Amino acid sequence: MIFLAGFGIALYLTILMVILTRVWRGKMESKITRDQFLKNQRERCNKNNYPHFMPASGVCYRCKKDIVPKLISKGNDGNLLVTGCPLCHASYCA
């Protein structure tokens, strides 16, 4: 009986954690658009005289996939310098 009660609480907490994680991720993703991300990246590079490592289109040179949604889902809003593809791990520095 005690085992079942403990199992129920653990199951409830797991479900709650999954729901809260999905809600949090949804809020993070909806805060910024693709265009805003690219604008932020461009402005950061120009302001700090950094080279533009990331492709201006947001599409990886190597895997030909759009990297912006992946970067946004990881919490990057374009204010961090992007030096490689988060999908195929190609470096844009070379």
Q: What is the pLDDT of residue 91?
A: 95
Which amino acid, one-letter code, is at 45?
Answer: C
pTM of the model: 0.65
Tokens 């895997």, located at residue: 63
Q: What is the pLDDT of residue 30?
A: 54
Smallest CA-to-CA distance from 76 within 52, 40, 24 is with 40
Q: What is the pLDDT of residue 2?
A: 53
Q: For residues 55 and 45, what is the distance between their CA atoms, to the nearest angstrom?
A: 12
Average pLDDT per block of 10 residues along the chain, 94 residues long: 59 75 58 93 94 94 96 92 95 88
Q: What is the pLDDT of residue 29?
A: 47
